[in-house]
Copies of this chain bind each other. A is one copy, B any other.
């Protein structure tokens, strides 16, 4: 569905966002530890997210990653777009080069509804709303 990198990215964003009220920055290491990903690889992902202004980074001592208020409103769709692109929501299930009502594959009319729904759901869910669920203790970011 979505790539491993993208899953790391979503978890990282939600984790960082969940710290916004504590007004602390979290380091690459802390994030990598939380999301159970290799540190250096986590770094790469955080870099991309920072470039896209999905999270914010600050170098130097006492530096790290954090979310600005406006960034809490970022839809999860933007994370997916930043890491994997939007192909998963647009491509044909059967691999035709174009997915369209005009030249549909046999699964198109059944399947494209689900794709749309999925994309809508990803675009309406914000990083902040997921962080809130975490904070409320209704859900988890780590295994066990």
Contact = CB atoms under 8 A, between A and B. Distances in A.
Interface of A: 1-2, 4, 7-8, 10-11, 14, 35, 76, 88, 91-98, 103-108, 110-111, 114, 117-118, 121, 125, 130-131, 133-134, 138-144
B143 A94 contact: no
B1 A95 contact: no
Query: A-B pairs with the 9 shortest C-beta distances?
Result: A7-B95, A106-B130, A106-B133, A106-B139, A97-B143, A104-B139, A1-B88, A11-B94, A10-B94
Contacts of A117: 114
Oligomer copy total: 2
A143 B96 contact: yes
A93 B140 contact: no
29 contacts: A1-B91, A1-B93, A4-B95, A7-B93, A7-B95, A8-B95, A10-B93, A10-B94, A10-B95, A10-B107, A11-B94, A11-B95, A35-B95, A76-B107, A94-B141, A96-B140, A96-B141, A96-B143, A97-B143, A104-B139, A104-B140, A105-B139, A105-B141, A106-B130, A106-B134, A106-B138, A107-B130, A114-B117, A114-B121
Which of A105, A117, A139 has most B Cβ within 10 Å? A105
